[in-house]
Structure 1
């Protein structure tokens, strides 16, 4: 078997074991990953910055006693720093070169991981499809006419294409779970405060953004969490400490769990039959594992909740554009995409009082959600309302494009304070992904599970949301479902090694 095939077929835990046994070397794996990154680049367009020379140098000297020594890796081109590496944030704003590592980057390197590229993101992570004016369209290895999701779509495409077995990702409104659902991967949105974002920021989007990874296997997800979680001196708050290791949690039988399933769209928008088939598949796997599953409703999570979420994000984007203008010494409104510009201008129009009141409403709903679902070990619900969309499907067309142009060119952003118009644009933005932002607001952990592949050959995952701080139960349940389903053996058909 070739080294490329070994890289393509194994998860990170398996590859690390082969390295420890001397059956493959870090430099051999790194060279195979670089070659595969280059071979698939025109297919998936998932690389922002190649790091090949630095990767080769690190692979030659990595301490083979480290838990993930020599494992090829990708770091997202957004919200994380790697010293000396350009970060674009998926934008045409002039890139910045970090002079320090993020705490999370240091933890990745201390584990022995070998970053070979940074992965593509939509501009500032604002779309749940990875398409940008700066980098173009990132494509799904299962079918390159379709999206790999976003905003961690580059990370997902690289893992699904067998370039790397694990990749850094972040999630502010579904940006780990949506790409996982689109590409047949495991994606854990961690509890708020589980992994530090320091020293770049103390928190992002009012605490709604978290970092972790996209992986092929549940055990990789758990291992990477063991190696990266926990506060540092600059962390403003921390998630509750786990009872044991996350790897141990993933390895043990979950026992008999009490689960719930939430089937409705909180936005009241259409949900495809395929999404409901995927949700039923997850329920069937859970029941096969010996768990009870009860249908529930969450009527207090509705359109007003998402309007407050969207308004809060807009204010955060406005603040980010101010910071970027200070960094480059001029306005950046001409550099950014039309949709980003509209969001930023809207964020400038919303008063501090309105933002504070909206956040308080979100927190109140979160408390109610956590209290009313505390009786369940996890709640199953969709991630995406439809199978992975065709590339370009979320681009505004016709009347939608006309409205965007008018809002932008005539500076009519104030019209978004009218509830019907904000609702219309919100439906366009979130029409593909109705559910994931719920856990970003509540701070709960939620894991994407690759339970289904459509008749057209496209993955369609669902999520299990847990109690705050309880990733261990989610990992135990996910590992059991992985074993029952056999999903770990699925691979995208793109450039299968001989």
Structure 2
């Protein structure tokens, strides 16, 4: 087992599949190694919602070894993506949902040869940017288990960073792919709106803000997986424009000389750590080393009002979800969910339809302005997280914030959130760790988190590059060059290194 665990730990998914095709390792050996490592690291990282070990072993015995990712262990996030017969918790103590069929994306992942060994943890309904929930507890960072993985795809990122699987499904509605990637030293591609399918459980989520893809060890893995899974399903209300070629080919070619913008400001006007600025400077230096023209820019259309409209839109989406869950379960479920979720849902209920529509129109107008403003740039570098990964529990409501949440919850004074000072206080409490990722969820642009930096304490800080709408190809080519220049694929979290 040690030999196969080492192979699993050392290689990305593309490399593992090549070993399977050449006959150097069998899918059953890879899957057994992944299950063994999942069990060995379970207490350390707490990243699994449901185990699929028996299913995985059966699939490994019959998988077609000629498939692009034949026999490669994988994980599916416990949110929105259905696996037939597997309980979906959505990170919540609310009643589980058991799908009777796979989601389209899951079918495509399995058709590529991937073998799911588990579902990965997420905060309740993906609402927090750390993966801590009353249902599953704390998911911990393999680089330092006293620190967070980020969220909401934190379980996926922990499993990849710990070497359990080489890549894992993830989703992103306000940074939920990029934040865990930035915290765990991984590549995290947030795709263009409509690039990958979200159905059939949903046609869109959070008014189209949410996209589905993966966290990976390497850029080439992210690119090849996107080649194998992109394209709308029958329920999609829109689709991203088609690529000019394959994403894998884009990741394999030199990007040429690009024009790169750099955005340093906080759209919330909140503090940014020196470590984050150092990470951004590292990314800028790598871009210049790659021969690109780098220009400092501002994004005047992105401010606190933009972020407030985003947060209010999410609140209305959660209110709607709670209504749908009440219908499915035949009773209200607000008593089952966490306090912060309950407060957010209640605020979504007191917003008028007119307020929601006006906010969405403002977001769309800002998106058009941003896309026009950044059109001269092939990519724009900006932070993902404002601080290094914080200690676990570091984003829990405390002091005044906790008191406000308790009062709003117990006395059902959610209408007080209509007062800007109170809403702003709760928004800052939720987003002080990560100020930027929601921008691309609103605009629909692709963005890729790149693991360019380690702090002196040995904690990762990733930086993102945002691209033009529908242009993942340029981002993947640029990120692959950054990967080569920085050598980040040789970095591994120190947790339980195989001997």
**What's the TM-score, normalizing by structure 1?**
1.00
Partner residue of 1:316?
A: 317
Partner residue of 1:458?
A: 459
- CA deviation vs aligned residue, 1:476-496 (integer Å, no higher than 9, x gap): 000000001100100000000
1:5-404 superposed matches below 5 A? 5-404=6-405
Partner-residue secondary structure (3-state), 1:238: coil
For residues 168 and 180 of structure 1, the distance between their equivalents in structure 2, rounded to whole angstroms, comes to 12
**How far did residue 399 of structure 1 move?**
1.3
For residues 192 and 450 of structure 2, the distance between their equivalents in structure 1, rounded to whole angstroms, comes to 17
For residues 57 and 286 of structure 1, the distance between their equivalents in structure 2, rounded to whole angstroms, comes to 45
Partner residue of 1:449?
A: 450
* Unaligned segments of structure 1, at least 5 residues: none
For residues 363 and 357 of structure 1, the distance between their equivalents in structure 2, rounded to whole angstroms, comes to 10
- CA deviation vs aligned residue, 1:231-289 (integer Å, no higher than 9, x gap): 12222111010000000000000000000000000100000000000000000000000
For residues 31 and 69 of structure 1, the distance between their equivalents in structure 2, rounded to whole angstroms, comes to 14
For residues 349 and 97 of structure 1, the distance between their equivalents in structure 2, rounded to whole angstroms, comes to 31
**How far did residue 413 of structure 1 move?**
0.6
For residues 143 and 218 of structure 1, the distance between their equivalents in structure 2, rounded to whole angstroms, comes to 24
For residues 381 and 41 of structure 1, the distance between their equivalents in structure 2, rounded to whole angstroms, comes to 33
For residues 403 and 268 of structure 2, the distance between their equivalents in structure 1, rounded to whole angstroms, comes to 24
1:414-493 superposed matches below 5 A? 414-493=415-494
- CA deviation vs aligned residue, 1:173-225 (integer Å, no higher than 9, x gap): 00000000000000000000000101111110000000000000000000000
For residues 431 and 314 of structure 2, the distance between their equivalents in structure 1, rounded to whole angstroms, comes to 13
Partner-residue secondary structure (3-state), 2:19: helix
For residues 133 and 374 of structure 1, the distance between their equivalents in structure 2, rounded to whole angstroms, comes to 43
- CA deviation vs aligned residue, 1:339-373 (integer Å, no higher than 9, x gap): 00000000000011100000000000000000010
For residues 495 and 83 of structure 1, the distance between their equivalents in structure 2, rounded to whole angstroms, comes to 33
For residues 374 and 252 of structure 2, the distance between their equivalents in structure 1, rounded to whole angstroms, comes to 25
For residues 270 and 495 of structure 1, the distance between their equivalents in structure 2, rounded to whole angstroms, comes to 35
Partner-residue secondary structure (3-state), 1:2: helix
Aligned pair count reads 498
Partner-residue secondary structure (3-state), 1:199: coil
Partner-residue secondary structure (3-state), 1:334: helix
For residues 397 and 426 of structure 1, the distance between their equivalents in structure 2, rounded to whole angstroms, comes to 14
For residues 233 and 139 of structure 2, the distance between their equivalents in structure 1, rounded to whole angstroms, comes to 34
Partner-residue secondary structure (3-state), 1:49: strand
For residues 341 and 208 of structure 2, the distance between their equivalents in structure 1, rounded to whole angstroms, comes to 20
**How far did residue 393 of structure 1 move?**
0.4
